[in-house]
Amino acid sequence: MFDTVLVANRGEIALRVIRACRDLGVRSVAVHSEADAGAAFARLADEAVEIGPAAPSQSYLRIDRIVEAAQRTGAQAIHPGYGFLSENQAFARACAEAGIAFVGPPPEAMAAMGEKVPARRRMEAAGVPVVPGSGALRDVEEAIAAAERVGYPVLIKASAGGGGIGMRVAGDEAELRSGLEAARSTAERAFGDSTVFLERYVEEPRHIEIQVLADAHGTIVHLGERECSIQRRHQKVLEESPSPVIDPEQRARMGEAAITAARAVGYVNAGTVEFIHSRGEFFFLEMNTRLQVEHPVTEEVQGVDLVVEQLRIAAGEPLLMRQEALVPRGWSIECRVNAEDPLRDFMPTPGRVTVYREPSGPGVRVDSSLVVASSVSPHYDPMIAKLIVWGPTREAAVARMRRALREYVIRGITTNIPFHLALLDEPDFVAGRLSTHFIPEHPQLVERTAEWVERKRTLDGALRDGARIAAVGAAIAVTM
């Protein structure tokens, strides 16, 4: 195992990696921007190095400064977390050239999965089911011919990047003609690559992903699925494991497909193979060649520390787990807690947190960038915490999440906690009737969120006064 690991990230994921290092007896180094000098992750690391101004382009995206910090502090490995440089091939190569282990896949595996059109071809060749579609499109006439072959409606998608950027739905030839150029322009601006392709538009789609671990000795295992269908503008809001619609037989088939996909590109370390699932069928979507934001729900149901396993794999150790032992136990749900206002189209709400109190009790875990009241910077992603619960059943996990959200007090800024409470009350969510269109198809969530804003204000006020136990009970009764 390494003596020292540098964490090339910030916020809650930096804290998560620092804690895994501490569990292994490994010294941790945090790099931080000027804006994050007083952040919890920088304080809790064994050593902290400032690498530039607040803007990510001048700090967290500066490969040269990060590698230099690793060399100066004696770090033998760099963990990139997620986001920033986590899927940057140049960063992985720079680490290798400097003799530093990159805690992630080899750059060749990143490249193989980094662009969707070549990745689709690889998966088809390996026998992994893919959504019917086209290759890279040269012009509108080729797109029209492909759409007629695939069948309308179709999705126009960018080959590079992700997050739904550049994606358009076309229900007929007219929409395809207008959408193709718009998708190309968006892809060029966002990724510097205007390549687009078509996929059949899948009805009632669910976003289901499979976690894999692969060591450098040829062993690959999957750790079951995560249901990630609750999304807003292609960004995940709530995740759970397992999925309400996946039975053991299909879990095994999807897991084998994910292992095949990883093996086809020589994958090593932790990765996630994403599938679109509809009416019992599943199709390869893409592979995320890094640790996912939602990895804790897999940890909770599998009893595996994925970050510790990442570090062990990067150090050359073999996987010791057996596939037959990796079965989900109970149910876990994660809510992403963001500094944003759900009543104002989820506008980011950076600022000073004046009161911060995390929920606790059986089955509750909080992975947060905050440990005390502090500031939320406008320079970075608005996610400030992940609230994770475990329960023996999905019903129990939903009940625990409701309880934990009610207890979570964050004052001074607006958060999306009331939206999560409204979501958990929605009958279709409770019944597990999910799709990636869930939020736009349930406009009543906004009205219910407004109701929860008022209820939560009453409850938070009572919880801040620990001496008034009677008031706490009364406030809880109001929200029931």
* Per-position pLDDT tens, the chain of length 480: 999 999 999 999 999 999 999 999 999 999 999 999 999 999 999 999 999 999 999 999 999 999 999 999 999 999 999 999 999 999 999 999 999 999 999 999 999 998 888 888 999 999 999 988 898 998 999 999 999 999 999 999 988 866 677 788 999 999 999 999 889 888 888 888 888 999 999 889 999 999 999 999 999 999 999 999 999 988 999 999 999 999 999 999 999 999 999 999 999 999 999 999 999 999 998 999 999 999 999 999 999 999 999 999 999 999 999 999 999 999 999 999 999 999 999 999 999 999 999 999 999 999 999 877 788 999 999 999 999 999 999 999 999 999 999 999 999 999 999 999 999 999 999 999 999 999 999 999 999 999 999 999 999 888 766 534 444 444 444 454
**Which residues, including other chains, have CB under 8 Å from residue 431's CB and lie 6 or more apart?**
none
Catalytic pick from 10, 184, 290, 406? Answer: 290
Domains along the sequence of the chain with CATH: 4-103 (3.40.50.20), 132-200 (3.30.1490.20), 206-464 (3.30.470.20)
**Closest listed residue to residue 307, CA positions, set 333, 258, 334, 269:** 269
Q: Residues for the chain: how many in total? A: 480
Predicted pLDDT of residue 163: 67
Q: Is 27 annotated as catalytic?
A: no
Round to whole Å and give the CA distance between 96 and 100.
Answer: 6
| Paired strand residues for 388 | 334, 365
> Residues 144, 145, 147, 149: what is their CA dihedral angle, to the nearest 10 degrees?
160
Predicted pLDDT of residue 476: 47
Round to whole Å and give the CA distance between 133 and 164.
Answer: 17
Phi, psi of 284 (to 5 degrees): -60, 135
Residue 367 vs residues 310, 409, 427: alpha-carbon distances, Å: 18, 15, 28
Three-state DSSP state, 204: coil
**Which residues, including other chains, have CB under 8 Å from residue 139's CB and lie 6 or more apart?**
none
Predicted pLDDT of residue 223: 98
**Closest listed residue to residue 86, CA positions, set 63, 54, 65:** 63
Cβ proximity of 140 and 173 under 8 Å? no
Three-state DSSP state, 310: helix
